[in-house]
Structure 1
Amino acid sequence: MKRPVRASLLALSLFLLALAVLPAWALEGDASAPIEVVADRLDLDDRAGTAVYRGDVEIRQGSMRLTGERVEIQRNAAGQLTRATATGERAYLEQKPAPDEPLVRGWGRTVIYHVAERRIELIDRAELHQGGDTFDGGYLEYFLDRRVVQARAEAEGVQDRQRVRMTLEPERQENP
């Protein structure tokens, strides 16, 4: 194997290892689960700390799934994942926050996951589903730890105003 190819594969392996040792994003086993990436193309810049995947990208780790036409992963100088940004007509992210909680699913033309803040931004045609509850708008922000949703009709850089809509399922009352 030629040296530049071997160095690139080593850098990619180290990058993926850095993703795997992150604090758990949701389910306890997610952080130790293998990371699977499928894409048509990868551009890795180890010095800049970025990996850009293109072409029907799908990234899975445990219960987490991130898809888009383009996904950019950024890490800091210590090799820790800082942000994942998926873009496309309907970029998508799903995660199971805890074994006894419903799956959280989000869509947008841009989906950004801020790792340290455990915060998700859904931008342009944003949609968030958690159990029977749904939220739609131009911009949605979801804080994983606090289970807080913030929604706006307008998103920066987006032409169309997309009014906020939500549907909340009533809590089921148990019969005595």
Structure 2
Amino acid sequence: MTRPALLMALALSGFAFIAAPGLAQQRDAEQPIEVEADRLDLDDNAGTAVYTGDVEIRQGSMLLTGDRVEMQRNAAGELTRATARGDRAYIEQQPNPDEPVARGWGRTIIYHVAERRVELIDRAELHQGGDTFTGGYLEYFLDRRVVQARAQGEGVEGSQRIRMTLQPER
């Protein structure tokens, strides 16, 4: 493996970041990572990989898109955080084969790997089955399936009221 290929592999290692525990996490983690972008700036010493230009990253049922995606890893080469930015950055993942795909949008999306937490910032939107949440700032805890929402927050332009639509239990 060439040095640039090795560095890119290290920058992407541990990328299965949007899977719920169990089957989906294992299934997604075993899939190849596919990245498309116009540009890559990799800094091995800093542990960062920055993709720009219509970025699309796929692994299993996970998809992350944005105009710019920055991934940070620790000294062991494990992904610690992924940040996507754009007019409508997007993330999706199917927790389990029998569950609907969870979809999220925002001008900024930050995934904190160790905490298994996703922040959707500015014009934030989250769809989970028939339930929807919108507002200035949404925080989604993957393992607990907990959503916290705010009209205002750091990185949010103005105040964006929280709106929620919950479907009745079947």
TM over 0.5: yes
Separation (CA, whole Å) in 2 of partners of 1:76 and 1:34: 21
Aligned residues: 165
Separation (CA, whole Å) in 2 of partners of 1:126 and 1:159: 11
Q: 1:139-161 CA distances to partner (integer Å, 9 max, x unpaired)?
A: 00000000000000002132310
Match of 1:11 among 7, 12, 15: 7
Q: Name 2:19's counterpart in structure 1.
A: 25
| Structure 1: unaligned runs, 5 residues or longer | 1-5
- Indicate the SS of the match to 2:54: strand
**TM-score, normalised with respect to structure 1:** 0.89
Instruction: Name whichever of 156-165 and 131-140 sits farther off.
Output: 156-165
Q: Is the 8 A contact 1:24 1:31 kept in 2?
A: no
Q: Which has the larger radius of gyration?
A: 1
Match of 1:159 among 147, 154, 157: 157
After TM superposition, where is structure 1 displaced by more than 3 Å over at least 4 residues in a row? none
| Structure 2: unaligned runs, 5 residues or longer | none
**TM-score, normalised with respect to structure 2:** 0.92
Q: 1:87-120 CA distances to partner (integer Å, 9 max, x unpaired)?
A: 0000000011112221110000000111111100
Separation (CA, whole Å) in 2 of partners of 1:14 and 1:81: 9
**What is the percentage of aligned positions where both structures have the same residue?**
73
Q: 1:71-99 CA distances to partner (integer Å, 9 max, x unpaired)?
A: 00000011100000000000000011112
- Within-5 A mapping of 1:108-127: 108-127=106-125
Q: Name 2:67's counterpart in structure 1.
A: 69
| Higher RCO structure (Cα 8 Å, ≥6 apart) | 2
Letter in 2 for 1:132: G
- Indicate the RMSD between aligned Cα atoms, in angstroms: 1.5
Separation (CA, whole Å) in 2 of partners of 1:135 and 1:159: 18
Separation (CA, whole Å) in 2 of partners of 1:24 and 1:136: 20
